[in-house]
Structure 1
Amino acid sequence: MRYPPISIVVPIYNVEQYLDRCMQSLVNQTYKDIEIILVNDGSTDTSASICDKYEKVDRRVQVIHKLNGGLSDARNYGLRVAKGEYVLFVDSDDYIELDACEKLCNVLKDASSNAPDLIIGIARKIHNDKVSYLIHKGSENYALLTGSEYMLKELKTESLHMAVWLNLYRNEFLKKNELDFKVGLLHEDEQFTPRVLLKAEKVLCTDIIFYNYVIRDSSITRSRDLSINGLHIIQTCYELASLYEQVDDTELKKLLNNNLVTKYLSAIKTGGLYRKKYKSSIDTKFMYSRVHSKKNLSQLLLLSCSRRLFSRLYRILSERQNS
């Protein structure tokens, strides 16, 4: 069995406190045939010098210094220079298990003739002293599926995760299908992952816990005013709606559209878009035309009747969840 080389793409912006932890998890991988591409996206702290330090002592490390263009732009830079047969994305404030690449490679039985487009793993979610897991519930481990089959199974069990770092990607597959990240978009994974899965012909789901997702209260997606985050998710919903119109499978299309309603409602809640000044940004007709679950329909009806009650209920549920 031949083991493929892996490119690890790490976008970096002002993470001097966390970068060494991330880098130690990469340079000390038990699987050695890797290249580590560090894309310094215009950091203003000491992140750039930390990157250069690792490049000097490890020939597998390549550093790209660029003007700030955002997370998507940094990932695209890394993708363009990646030479590995497979690509793994790691956020610079997270870290992976030391045997992550080895375990992911071990599931490739025949990397030359039956190479999966995606290998999907499990992430450990860490927030202060709380630990949970991002797992898939609908798909059988180590069974080869199409991306559409995988989405259908995971949507049925409400366990379809969009995080880009949950997957190992075949580089040629990404390049052939021109699958990159939309620049300037927050929550870019929400737009990237469905496009990838709908193109994928071979998806291999695993039970490998390899990624450690560390939630920082100061991160981009946890800033105090999340209105821009919500508006970007709504923008993504409109873009995905056009893509989903091309899906032939009736059941999958129904579940994908309902998932758009879930995302849209979540954007309204987390972004505080139920406030009066965002009224023109909310298209309830878009949601009514795609809703299929009773849960989403009840929330949509409440939103239509009273934004105040909708927001109050959301705050009550959030407080209970965090207590």
Structure 2
Amino acid sequence: MKPRVSIIVPVYNAAPYLNQCVSSLTNQTLKEIEIILINDGSTDDSLAVCAALAATDDRIRLIDKPNGGVSEARNDGLRAATGAYVGFVDPDDWVDTDMYERMLATLTAAQAEICLCNYVKETKEGTVPVLVKQSGTIEKEAILGDIVANVIAKPSFRSGETDIMGSVCRLLISRELLERENIWFDKEVAFMEDLLVCVEAFLKCARIAIDSGAYYHYRVHDSSTVMAYKPKFYQRQKQAFAKLQELLVREGEAAALAPRMANRCIIIALLALANEAHKDNPMPFREKIRNIDKIVADEELSATLEKIELDTVESRKKLELNLMKKKASVALYLYYTVFNKLKAALGKG
């Protein structure tokens, strides 16, 4: 049976979650699938769990390789894929059992190259559906403004604005599109590698179908990338930002998307400030302040902040942006220390 969909799962030290993840795939109502598990040099029991799961279903293919990072693991999955369409699932997440049948039907009916669905954020406190505002079929002319721009950043810092999480895990993508346009995950990028692939694929496809279902379950836990302290976070985000800018220049869309890239520049700084104040940051206080000094001294950030009309920004963001404009490093550190504690107490990822 030739698979219609190849589902790629990069695995690194995810043993406690693998059974739930993989069973949500083997139980798909769409039977013509292959499940490609790439064990990326795990040091826990992940390889043994993957091998046991592969023994139960001949649609599961296991690739065992030395650790090379999530981008290279996904690329290995793409090289091995034989389905006409590819999907991606992270090993600590799971999906509804009819996800790929429904998305394939939506994509086929629209004659699209990509289908995008909604997702559910799963926390200790409960589930929160995260829905995109867009619906139906997005044609080439509207993809830039309706999809790509919102993947890069929210339109403004006003309350109520939303963006689109740039994750390949909510997509079903034509493998022919990826091969035709030579789209791969950049193994040199440690953060935002998903977003880069999403933006490139969106820019190079003719039609995107939006499925209103929230099929993907994104687990937020203490060891999640989104929750953990990340060393060299700002440098790695700036590297990915530069790669994104290069992509937009190459595709001739840098000018059209300049306002969203400016917002992205600020978002990266805000995330980096919170990361410096993370409870698990082992650096001494003075080192943390020096790192914050470097963030707020960034010339591109300063130039972007000067152009923002603070009167249109919600009060909390206005405080953050004002402190950044004033380069008030100690005040920013104290603010984010309190903010992180409140966020943790409320269980927000």
The two structures share one fold, judged by TM-score above 0.5: yes
* Distance apart, 1:184 and its partner CA: 4.5
| Residue 123 of structure 1: aligned partner | 119
Tell me whether 250-259 or 50-59 shows the greater mean CA deviation. 250-259
Q: RMSD of the TM alignment (CA)?
A: 2.7
Q: Secondary structure at the match of 1:180?
A: coil
Amino acid across the alignment from 1:316: V
**Contact 1:36–1:62 (Cα < 8 Å) also in 2:** yes
Indicate how the Cα distance of structure 1 residues 282 and 191 shifts in structure 2: closer, same or farther if over 3 A, else same: farther
* Identity percentage of aligned residues: 26
Q: How far does residue 281 in structure 1 lie from its aligned partner after superposition?
A: 5.9
Instruction: State the SS of the aligned residue for 1:87.
Output: strand
Aligned to 1:183: 187
Partner amino acid, structure 2, of 1:39:
I
Q: Given that residues 12 and 39 in structure 1 are in contact (C-alpha distance below 8 angstroms), is that contact kept between their aligned partners in structure 2?
A: yes
Structure 1 position 21, deviation (Å): 0.7
Structure 2: runs of 5+ lacking an equivalent: 156-160, 278-286
Q: Structure 2 vs 1, CA of residues 299 and 29 (structure 1 numbering), >3 Å: closer, same or farther?
A: same
Partner letter of residue 309 of structure 1?
A: A
Aligned equivalent of 2:258: 253
Q: CA deviation at 1:257?
A: 2.9
Q: Cα gap change, 1:245/1:283 in structure 2, threshold over 3 Å: closer, same or farther?
A: farther
Matching of residue 64 in structure 1 with residue 53 in structure 2: no
1:144 alignment partner, one of 138, 141, 148: 138
Question: How far does residue 251 in structure 1 lie from its aligned partner after superposition?
Answer: 4.9
What amino acid is the match of 1:132? Answer: V
Local SS of the residue matching 2:86: strand
Distance 1:100 1:125, change over 3 A: same
How far did residue 280 of structure 1 move? 4.1
1:162 is aligned to 166
Query: Which residue of 2 is the match for residue 302 of structure 1?
Result: 323
Alignment: residue pair count: 315
- Supply the distance in 1 between the matched residues of 2:249 and 2:262 (Cα, whole angstroms): 9
Mapped contact 1:228–1:271 kept (Cα < 8 A): no
**1:203: how far off?**
1.4
* Structure 1: distance between partners of 2:48 and 2:234: 34
**Cα 1:181/1:142, change in 2 over 3 Å:** same
Deviations 1:108-148 (A, max 9, x none): 345xxx632221111111111232223212x2x11223331
Partner SS state of residue 143, structure 1: strand
Rounded Cα–Cα distance in structure 2 between residues aligned with 1:73 and 1:253: 30
The AA in structure 2 aligned to 1:244 is: L
Tell me, what secondary structure is at the counterpart of 1:75?
Answer: helix
Please say if 1:101 is aligned against 2:105: no
Contact 1:143 1:204 in 2 (8 A): yes
Cα separation, partners in 2 of 1:233 and 1:153, compared to 1, 3 Å:
closer
In structure 2, C-alpha distance between the alignment counterparts of 1:27 and 1:278, rounded to whole Å: 46
Report the counterpart of residue 194 of structure 1 in structure 2.
199
Aligned to 1:73: 72
> Which amino acid is 1:275 matched to?
I
> Structure 1 residues 210, 259: CA separation in 2 closer, same or farther (over 3 Å shift)?
same
> How far did 1:276 drift?
0.9
TM-score (norm 1): 0.86
Mark the CA change 1:118 to 1:22 in structure 2 (over 3 Å): closer, same or farther: same
2:281 match = none
Pick which of 283-292 and 8-17 moved more.
283-292
Deviation at residue 303 of structure 1 after TM alignment: 1.8
Q: Find 1:210's aligned residue among 215, 225, 236.
A: 215
Deviation at 1:288, TM superposition (A): 3.5
Equivalent residue, structure 1, for 2:301: 287
- Residue deviations 1:200-249 (CA, integer Å, cap 9, x gap): 321122211111111121234433x4232333112212222333345448
> Is the CA contact (8 Å cut-off) linking 2:234 and 2:295 kept in structure 1?
no
* TM-score, L = length of structure 2: 0.81
Amino acid at match of 1:54: L
**In structure 1, distance between residues paired with 2:224 and 2:207:** 34
Q: Secondary structure at the match of 1:211?
A: strand
- Which deviates further from its counterpart, 57-66 or 3-12? 3-12
Out of 242, 245, 254, the position equivalent to 2:246 is: 242
Whether contact under 8 Å (1:31, 1:102) holds in the other structure is: yes
**Could you tell me which residue of structure 1 aligns to residue 131 of structure 2?**
135
Say if 1:88 and 1:235 are closer, same or farther in 2 by CA, change over 3 A.
same
How far residue 80 of structure 1 moved from its aligned partner, in angstroms, is 0.9
2: CA distance between counterparts of 1:52 and 1:96?
A: 21
Distance 2:244 2:198 in 1: 11
Instruction: Name which of structure 1's ranges 38-47 and 143-152 shifts more when overlaid on structure 2.
Output: 143-152
CA–CA separation in structure 2 for the residues paired with 1:193 and 1:271: 28
